Amino acid sequence: MKKLILIPFIVAIFTIQNIQAKALPEYTIKAAYLYNFALLTQWSSSNENQSDEFNLCFYKEDFGIASDTLKNKIMHEKKIKVSNINSIEEAQKCQMVFIRKEENIQELQLVQTLSQSQVLIVTDNEKIENSHITILSENTKLVFNVNLKYLKHTNLAVSSHLLKLAKKIIQ
Amino acid sequence: MNLFSKWFGNKPIEQKLILSNLIVIILVSIPVNIIMLTYEYFALRSHLIEEIRIQSSIVAESTAAAVAFHDESAASETLSIFRDSPYLLEVHLVLPDNTILQSYFPTKKTFIVKEFKASTSIEESFTFSTMTIKKPIYLRQQFVGSVIMVNSLYIFYSRLIWYILIVMLVLGIGFIFARLLATRISKMIVKPLSELTDLTQKIMREKDYSTSITINNTADEFGSLSRSFTEMMSQIHSRDLNLKHLAYYDRVTSIPNRHFFEERISQSVDNAKKHKINCYLLMIDLDDFKIVNDTLGHHIGDLLLKNVSKKLSTILRKDDSIFRIGGDEFAILIENIEDNKCVKQIAQKIINAISTPVELEGHQVKVGASIGISSFPTYSHDVITLMSTADSAMYVAKGKGKNSFSVYHK
């Protein structure tokens, strides 16, 4: 994963120039990926209308400064609100949840509960089978799989651009 | 201009018509083709530029996600779609930090672009042979980078050259057809004039105004000229006939005169030589004609001469020729007759006819005739001797007394 340091320019994806401190490149890249996943996913209006903000949640995970790059950016005409959450109830209020790589019973339960809701589940743990998008490390690059099998049960519409770039599409 | 006018003025009408037609065609076609070429230049150029703009939009749109995810292989894969683009030289995907995500060269690696700077504005620049277009890449309204494309304008020049070649070919073919058509039309226009020119030259050469001409009966100026020319020819011919009649015929008796006699006797002698036959000449002198003229006047004298010529015409054959060669002198040329005997019989008939009194305007008029006869080649060897021997014979006859004839003998 440390080889990802070789991709320093990723930071430039974001127009926010006022990053105060250096973020770990892996988190920065993942934050950029999360932003793009959100950009290329369409939520049904009923779900989006629930809040004036776009809730991007990190379940038991803290991206630190990297997550700050996402704050106050506009996503689907709403301001992004980055939250660190610890419970399934909190997760249900999010549009997008990132679940950390480490796995235990809570994460699995969370995924089980949210997999058919309007929450886009992104993880970097390939063992969590019923997440919607899985970020993987391949050589020096990050790639991702899209799980259409579970996305079908939601009202989430993933752009063909995203499917085209996916390493693997699970159906 | 004067030189041209002089040169042009000396050309035949047919060539003038052809040249004027071709000059008009050239003068019209040059500005038309310049306008068409200018229009085609701008139309082709704007069409190609529009194509390039559309292609750059397609590149920006199709690579947006790959650029957003910095996916080089996906970007490369997308760009390779444009490998068959006829004008794409190189394309670069530039990230917002001005680093190159991916470059693609459909043919050879050229790197015409020297500066790689992402921008949210569309920039276009031209050289003689290339067009460079920089276009921002947006993913869902989010600026993710720029695409810089360098395109060759070779295809534009190639299309333009083909257009010029085709136009020139069409012009060339059109010019040949125009030349053929102009020649044909000119010939058609000039033909009656040429015919008339040839005819006038022939008439001038042969001095024969009786030549019949085919009237060009069209309603145009040539038809009018042809009709006027025919009328003029007819008048000249009529005048000539009149002059000839005045020159060759006696005004009083309307029979051939001395002038005609001199020409005719030469022909008769030649004819006799050629066919080895005899030609007889009878010279007639009226007796007492002077008395009639002096006592009854010239009017009666003229009437008497007319009467005599009428009597002679009645007596002689159709092929025999009668001439009035002096005041009261007549000459007769007889050809194709067997012998002297027949001639003597004719002479006697003439004497009898002329000596018969005639009433002219209430006056009994009586004259006689003395006839001298000679022949070629029996008594003469040419025209002069024929005439002189006949004349001598006539004086011999006169010496004999009135109303007698004498045949010349050596």
**Between B130 and A6, where is the model more confident?**
B130
pLDDT value at residue A105: 66
| A165–B64 CB contact, under 8 Å | no
3-state helix, strand, coil split of chain A in percent (to 5) is 35, 25, 40
Domain ranges (residues) in chain A: 2-170
Between strands B368-376 and A141-147, the pairing is unpaired
| B66–A159 CB contact, under 8 Å | no
Indicate if B54 and B116 belong to the same structural domain.
yes
CA distance B364 to B356: 10
pLDDT value at residue A20: 36
Q: Is B142 on the interface with A (CB under 8 A)?
A: yes
Please tell me the distance in Å from B99's CA to the nearest CA on chain A: 8
**Between A111 and B152, where is the model more confident?**
B152
Whether pLDDT at B138 is above 90: yes
CA distance A46 to A65: 32
User: Do B151 and B89 form a contact (C-beta atoms < 8 A)?
Assistant: yes
Whether pLDDT at A91 is above 50: yes
Copy the structure tokens of residue B55.
């292609």
ipTM: 0.70
Indicate if B319 and B398 belong to the same structural domain.
yes
Best CATH choice for the domain A2-170 from the list 3.30.70, 3.90.460, 3.40.50, 2.30.30: 3.40.50
Is B97 a member of any domain?
yes
Instruction: List the CATH number of the domain containing B81.
Output: 3.30.450
Mutate to test the interface with B, among A13, A34, A80 (most CBs of B within 10 A): A13
Is B224 a member of any domain?
yes
Lowest mean pLDDT among B108-112, B159-163, B263-267: B108-112
**What angle is formed at CA B71 by the lines to CA B68 and CA B73, rounded to 5 degrees?**
145
Copy the structure tokens of residue B134.
């920089």
Indicate if B167 and B192 belong to the same structural domain.
no
| B65–A40 CB contact, under 8 Å | yes
| Residue % of chain B over a pLDDT of 70 | 98
Compare CB distances from B65 to A9, A15, A165 and report the shortest one's residue: A165
Whether pLDDT at A6 is above 50: no
Q: Is B143 on the interface with A (CB under 8 A)?
A: yes
Indicate if B196 and B230 belong to the same structural domain.
yes
Whether pLDDT at B328 is above 50: yes
| Residue % of chain A over a pLDDT of 90 | 11
CA distance A6 to A26: 11
Report how many domains make up chain B.
3
User: Do B75 and B134 form a contact (C-beta atoms < 8 A)?
Assistant: no
| A9–B95 CB contact, under 8 Å | yes
| A13–B96 CB contact, under 8 Å | yes
Q: Is B64 on the interface with A (CB under 8 A)?
A: yes
CA terminus-to-terminus distance, chain B: 84
User: Do A142 and A33 form a contact (C-beta atoms < 8 A)?
Assistant: yes
| A162–B142 CB contact, under 8 Å | no
pLDDT value at residue B232: 87
Please tell me the distance in Å from B40's CA to the nearest CA on chain A: 40
Beta strands in B238-367 (DSSP E): 279-287, 321-324, 329-335, 358-360, 363-365
CA distance A47 to A55: 11
pLDDT value at residue A9: 35
CA distance B190 to A149: 93
Indicate if B266 and B208 belong to the same structural domain.
no
Indicate if B240 and B277 belong to the same structural domain.
no
| A13–B71 CB contact, under 8 Å | no
Domain end call among B196, B215, B248: B248
Range of the domain at B244: 182-248
Whether pLDDT at B293 is above 60: yes
Copy the structure tokens of residue B398.
């006169």
3-state helix, strand, coil split of chain B in percent (to 5) is 60, 20, 25
For chain A, positions 105-164, list CB contacts with chain B under 8 A. Answer: 159, 161-162, 164
pLDDT value at residue A89: 83
User: Do B358 and B367 form a contact (C-beta atoms < 8 A)?
Assistant: no
Indicate if B91 and B204 belong to the same structural domain.
no
Q: H or E stretch including B58?
A: helix B13-68
Between strands B88-94 and B142-152, the pairing is antiparallel
Mean pLDDT score, A100-105 = 68
pTM of the entire structure?
A: 0.57
- Most distant CA pair in chain B, distance: 157
Mutate to test the interface with A, among B62, B67, B70 (most CBs of A within 10 A): B70
Closest-CA residue of B relative to A159 is: B65
pLDDT in tens, A103-152: 666 667 777 778 777 889 999 888 787 789 999 988 878 899 999 888 88
CA distances (Å), B156 to each of A167, B29, B297, in order? 41, 24, 111
pLDDT in tens, B15-45: 888 888 888 988 998 999 999 999 999 999 9
**Between A12 and B237, where is the model more confident?**
B237
Indicate if B87 and B132 belong to the same structural domain.
yes
Instruction: List the CATH number of the domain containing B272.
Output: 3.30.70.270
Domain end call among B180, B205, B229: B180
Cβ contacts below 8 Å, chain A against chain B, sum to: 42
Mean pLDDT score, B172-183 = 90
Indicate if B203 and B280 belong to the same structural domain.
no
**Between A112 and B387, where is the model more confident?**
B387
Between strands A168-170 and A157-158, the pairing is unpaired
Of the pLDDT bands very low, low, confident and very high (cuts 50, 70, 90), residue B255 is: very high
Mean pLDDT score, B326-342 = 88
Please tell me the distance in Å from A166's CA to the nearest CA on chain B: 10
pLDDT value at residue A50: 64
Please tell me the distance in Å from B48's CA to the nearest CA on chain A: 29
Domain end call among B248, B270, B288: B248
Whether pLDDT at B276 is above 60: yes
Indicate if B102 and B199 belong to the same structural domain.
no
Indicate if B371 and B309 belong to the same structural domain.
yes
pLDDT in tens, B219-234: 888 788 888 888 888 8
Indicate if B238 and B306 belong to the same structural domain.
no
pLDDT value at residue B214: 66
Is B253 a member of any domain?
no
Mean pLDDT score, B377-387 = 91
pLDDT value at residue A106: 67
pLDDT in tens, A28-77: 888 889 999 999 998 887 654 467 889 999 887 777 777 778 877 888 88
